């Protein structure tokens, strides 16, 4: 699932089919929807916007929908704890409930971007995956927290307010086996120490797609979101040879494109 002030890579969710791809025999092609959202300081407004974008993606034929990192909450330390939800208490987790209901009502798989999760006194940057039955299929907590200090450019430490996850997440879905990563997770193995979204964001996605010969889908908030960072945007689907299949600009939008698993076998 990275942001920038024309700099840092912070606010995205990355999705990639794993190396040992498991594809249902009846599925060879499907459409993916990347919902690039404008994030505000009003949580209910963010939920409504995400719900509408999911519906728009489904209307365009998407059977897998991906949301951005921190889409229900401005990316700012002032909001993380306030907007955090305990997913074990679904009645008090409107974000969790909305995603579950949307997946079930539309019969789709949703990679729910990431939102602040409260658990056992800790905050996590967490992505939830829901199946077409609305049930939670997997939960990924961001492993590689983004701590950076570049003199004259940017200083930011996610570890000041988030605890790190401790395991990778791979999940079998109706459209195949997928691996979940959040923003800085995609930097490993590291390509280079770059701070700009324009350079790092595209290079990393294309590199991960090409070196593993798989599809990489990344979803970002839009540039006009609230928070302490100006977001880079550019939600993108990259093919297994590193080619950009579909992408966006900075604005709020929904990107829908087709994934064709035969391209993986052809490339390999």
Of the residues 35, 183, 205, 263, which is catalytic? 183
Do 265 and 234 touch, CB atoms closer than 8 A? no
Burial class from Cβ neighbours inside 10 Å (0-12, 13-18, 19+) for residue 56 reads: middle
Q: Verify whether residue 183 is a known catalytic residue.
A: yes
Residue partners of 120: CB distance under 8 A and separation at least 6: none
Of the residues 43, 137, 142, 205, which is catalytic? 142
Residue partners of 63: CB distance under 8 A and separation at least 6: 30, 31, 32, 108, 109, 174, 175
Task: Copy the structure tokens of residue 221.
Answer: 């908030």
Q: Verify whether residue 69 is a known catalytic residue.
A: yes
The DSSP secondary-structure symbol of 85 reads B
Of the residues 69, 85, 117, 252, which is catalytic? 69
CA atoms within 13 A on the CB side of 248: 26
Q: Verify whether residue 142 is a known catalytic residue.
A: yes
Indicate which residues carry an active-site annotation: 69, 142, 183
């Amino acid at each position: 699932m990275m942001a920038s002030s024309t700099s840092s890579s912070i606010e995205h969710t990355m999705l990639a089919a794993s190396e040992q791809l498991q594809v249902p025999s009846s599925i060879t092609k499907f459409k993916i929807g990347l919902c690039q959202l404008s994030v505000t300081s009003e949580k209910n407004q963010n939920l409504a916007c995400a719900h509408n974008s999911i519906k728009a993606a489904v209307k365009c034929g998407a059977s897998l929908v991906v949301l951005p990192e921190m889409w229900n909450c401005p990316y700012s330390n002032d909001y993380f704890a306030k907007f955090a939800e305990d997913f074990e208490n679904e009645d008090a987790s409107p974000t969790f409930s909305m995603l579950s209901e949307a997946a079930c009502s539309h019969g789709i798989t949703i990679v729910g971007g990431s939102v602040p999760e409260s658990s056992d006194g800790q905050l996590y940057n967490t992505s939830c995956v829901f199946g077409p039955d609305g049930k939670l299929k997997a939960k990924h907590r961001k492993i590689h927290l983004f701590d950076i200090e570049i003199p004259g450019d940017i200083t930011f430490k996610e570890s000041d307010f988030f605890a790190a996850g401790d395991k990778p997440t791979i999940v079998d879905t109706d459209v195949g086996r997928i691996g979940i990563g959040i923003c800085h997770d995609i930097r490993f193995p590291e390509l280079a120490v770059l701070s700009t979204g324009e350079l790092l964001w595209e290079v990393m996605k294309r590199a991960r797609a090409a070196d593993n010969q798989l599809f990489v889908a990344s979803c970002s908030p839009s540039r006009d979101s609230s928070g302490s960072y100006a977001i880079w945007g550019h939600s993108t689907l990259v093919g297994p040879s590193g080619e950009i299949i579909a992408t966006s600009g900075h604005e709020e939008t929904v990107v829908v494109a087709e994934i064709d698993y035969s391209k993986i076998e052809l490339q390999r």
